[in-house]
Amino acid sequence: MGTEQKKMKKAGFSWQRALPLLVLGVGLVAFFACGLDDYLSFGVLRQNRAWLMQQVESSALLAALAYIGLYILVVAFSLPGGAVMTIAGGFLFGQWLGTGYVIFAATIGATILFVAARTALGGLLRAKAGPFLKKMEAGFRENALSYLLVLRLIPVFPFFIVNLVPAFLGVRLRDFVIATVVGIIPASFVYAGLGVGLGSIFDAGGEFSAKVVFTPELVAALAGLAALALLPVAYKNFKAKRDR
């Protein structure tokens, strides 16, 4: 066994542990290689609207399970199309049920990716981390729930990035799940609500883009929620300075 392999093993890395993450990576490549990204679009949703609505009406439970399963795959494999899937949830199942399905599926998919990344590379990256990264890791872990809530509430970074980074910084699974469930509720509800009116847009022959969702008012509301999520961190820092 070479020196580098010994270091990797000592850091907790092995190809067996990396297998789940490799499978997700291969799945992502295969998705684009097969041209499946063309199917996660509003155009396909428009073309198959009648058939999809028929499936929901004839077998609501099976349709919901199929939707949840597909959404889990989209998130776990970091496939593009999360916004389309969320809006489709409201379009097919209504705002309330659609939001519930989205939150459940997105949390499961994100947790799968989080666990796979932490198992495969978390130990190795932390072992190779320099002083700055270790200091950032300590600060992030200490206030993980608040920081993750902010990242979930304000989607500045892609969803899959927020699934991966906490895994590398040693965030606890419980904090990750809680922050994901709570943090994605507002945007999921708004997107699902937009999906409820998608049928009228299709009937009018109009084009639709998910970009219209983030109005200044919505961004301001999400920023306010993010500020509330940071209050515990601000109080903790204030208390620490006062006690010095």
pLDDT digits (tens, 9 = 90+) for 15-63: 556 666 666 667 667 766 666 666 678 888 888 888 999 999 999 999 9
Q: What confidence score (pLDDT) does residue 97 get?
A: 95
Q: Burial code of 43-60, b = ≥16 C-beta within 10 A, e = fewer? A: eebeeebeebeebbeeee
Q: Which of 216, 210, 221 is nearest to 91 (CA)?
A: 210
d(CA 170, CA 161): 15
- Tens of pLDDT, residue by residue over 207-231, are 655 555 555 555 565 666 666 566 5
The model's pLDDT over 119-155, given as tens digits with 9 standing for 90+, comes to: 765 555 555 544 545 555 666 667 778 888 888 887 7
- In angstroms, the CA 165 to CA 159 distance is 11
C-alpha Rg value of the chain to the nearest Å: 20
Give residue 167's pLDDT: 81
Q: In this predicted structure, what is the pLDDT of residue 148?
A: 86
Would you state the pLDDT for residue 132?
44
Six-digit token string for 21: 């993450």
**Residue pointed to by tokens 């199917």:** 39
Report the amino acid identity of residue 71: Y
pLDDT at res. 172: 87
Residue 133, burial from CB neighbour count under 10 angstroms (0-12, 13-18, 19+)? middle
Percentage of the chain exceeding pLDDT 70: 58
The pLDDT value recorded for residue 137 is: 62
Which of 7-11, 133-137, 192-196, 200-204 is predicted with the least confidence, judged by mean pLDDT? 7-11
Question: What type of residue is 141?
Answer: R
**pLDDT value for 144:** 77
Nearest Cα to 17, choosing from 116, 143, 134, 153? 116
Token code pair at residue 150: 């902010």
240 vs 37, more confident = 37
pTM: 0.77
CB distance 190 to 183 below 8 Å: no
* Distance (Å, whole) CA 118 – CA 164: 8
Residue 110: predicted pLDDT:
93
CB neighbours of residue 34 within 10 Å: 10
Asked if 99 and 90 touch (Cβ cutoff 8 Å), the reply is: yes
